[in-house]
């Protein structure tokens, strides 16, 4: 049973990761590439308010920002050169090239993510010990989408490159807390029978949003608002597609490879005890 469960996990993760990558290529990736043009323009093209005679300082989370005059010349965007022991060399961060290389690494990342989430779903199937099929798997996929994508997006919608955001640590803490609260809340609401438990579930679901997600004091971005809205919607739609594929495939394979195969083996061993 363990080997069949692991086979279910691996096959589900691979199928969901590949299909999710294809969905991203259709809409999400073009929006990211378009936003990167604005991000590069923001760095490479300096601008100033000197002509207006107004001097001011931007503050983001208590830290002064010199955003408007941080680039003296367009050439400052080139990698910095360091000299060690008389040997000069340029340093720059590695990134996959556009096209096939970028698509390949995206697919690998999505497959690994699919396997990880599939492992969680199959573990829940095994712990519950109830019959699972494609239809119930899709419902579990919908729950996964609500926990890991929809609920966090209500406070922290998907962001394009170049957009202003709050400190990473505070966003991570809020995201993790929202995921945990939403998962427990959905579990209590669907599995419990008492009114008090359902009220507690609703309180857990609402708590992260009543507390509020962390946001920067100053929003400053060259990315058009319409592009940001399109990206948020496209990201949520493709994420929903990913979770429905993940849930339906894991439910189908779990029924075929784990439940039905285990039943056949059990009947065979009962008929042939020797």
More confident residue, 71 or 247: 247
Summarised one tens digit per residue, pLDDT across range 188-242 is 998 888 999 999 999 999 999 999 999 887 766 777 888 888 999 999 999 999 9
Rounded CA-CA distance 47/40 in Å is 14
115 contact partners, CB below 8 Å, separation of at least 6: 9, 10, 12, 13, 14, 17
| Other C-beta atoms lying within 10 Å of the C-beta of residue 85 | 4
More confident residue, 236 or 99: 236
Rounded CA-CA distance 218/214 in Å is 12
Q: What is the pLDDT of residue 143?
A: 96
User: Does the pLDDT at position 163 exceed 60?
Assistant: yes
Q: What is the pLDDT of residue 141?
A: 96
Q: What is the mean pLDDT of the chain?
A: 79
User: Does the pLDDT at position 63 exceed 80?
Assistant: no
Summarised one tens digit per residue, pLDDT across range 8-18 is 999 999 999 99
> In the chain, where are the structural domains located?
2-77+97-165+215-271
Q: Is 38 helix (H, G, I), strand (E, B) or coil?
A: helix
Q: What is the pLDDT of residue 263?
A: 57
pLDDT band at 76 (very low <50, low <70, confident <90, very high): very low
> Which has the minimum average pLDDT: 33-37, 104-108, 238-242?
33-37
Q: What is the pLDDT of residue 93?
A: 62
User: Does the pLDDT at position 257 exceed 50?
Assistant: yes
Q: Percentage of the chain with pLDDT > 70? A: 72
> Which has the minimum average pLDDT: 139-148, 185-194, 246-255?
185-194
Q: What is the pLDDT of residue 90?
A: 41
DSSP readout, 155-210? HS----TT-----HHHHHHHHHHHHHHHHHHHHHHHH--SHHHHHHHHHHHHHHHH
């Amino acid at each position: 049973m363990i080997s069949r469960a692991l086979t279910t996990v691996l096959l589900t993760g691979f199928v969901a990761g590949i299909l999710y990558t294809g969905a991203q290529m259709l809409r999400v990736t073009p929006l990211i590439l378009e936003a990167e043009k604005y991000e590069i323009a923001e760095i490479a093209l300096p601008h100033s308010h000197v002509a207006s005679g107004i001097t001011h300082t931007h503050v983001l989370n208590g830290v002064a920002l010199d955003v408007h005059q941080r680039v003296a010349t367009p050439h400052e965007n080139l990698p910095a050169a360091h000299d060690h022991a008389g040997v000069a060399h340029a340093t720059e961060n590695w990134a996959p090239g556009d096209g096939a290389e970028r698509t390949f690494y995206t697919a690998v990342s999505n497959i690994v993510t699919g396997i990880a989430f599939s492992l969680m779903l199959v573990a829940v199937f095994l712990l519950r010990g109830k019959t699972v099929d494609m239809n119930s798997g899709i419902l579990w996929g919908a729950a996964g989408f609500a926990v890991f994508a929809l609920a966090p997006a209500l406070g922290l919608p998907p962001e394009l490159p170049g957009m202003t955001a709050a400190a990473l640590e505070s966003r991570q803490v809020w995201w993790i807390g929202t995921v945990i609260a939403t998962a427990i809340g959905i579990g209590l609401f669907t599995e419990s029978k008492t009114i008090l438990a359902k009220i507690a579930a609703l309180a857990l679901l609402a708590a992260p949003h009543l507390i509020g997600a962390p946001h920067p004091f100053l929003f400053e971005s060259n990315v058009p608002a319409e592009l940001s809205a399109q990206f948020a919607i496209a990201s949520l739609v493709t994420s929903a597609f990913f979770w429905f594929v993940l849930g339906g495939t894991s439910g189908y394979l779990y029924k075929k490879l784990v439940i039905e195969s285990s039943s056949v083996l059990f009947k065979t061993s009962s008929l042939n005890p020797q």
